[in-house]
Amino acid sequence: MNLIIHLLLREPEFSGTGGPAEAARRLRELASEIETNVPDFSACREGQRIAGSQDDCSCIAYLVEL
């Protein structure tokens, strides 16, 4: 399994003054969410979204088999 992080930098919150600082904040949010909700990666199925909102695809994490 491989952890894939998708961060869509074209989203409005990442442009302008947000930029890299906002991207870093969102990545920290993903990391915290993963740490809280995924105690055992072996229990996650291929392609499973493991962090990030279902309503916001600008920043998500999921597991896949490459």
Q: How far is CA 64 from the centre of its chain?
A: 13
Residue pair 61/52 in contact (Cβ under 8 Å)? The answer is yes
Q: Is the pLDDT of residue 46 over 80?
A: yes
Q: Is the pLDDT of residue 48 over 80?
A: yes
Confidence of residue 66 (pLDDT cuts 50, 70, 90): low
**pLDDT tens per residue, range 30-44:** 999 999 988 888 888
The residues facing 63 across adjacent strands are: 3
Number of helical (H) and strand (E) elements in the chain, helices listed first: 1, 3
Q: Is the pLDDT of residue 51 over 80?
A: yes
**pLDDT tens per residue, range 3-36:** 888 888 777 777 777 788 888 888 899 999 999 9
Tell me how far apart the terminal alpha carbons of the chain are, to the nearest angstrom. 7
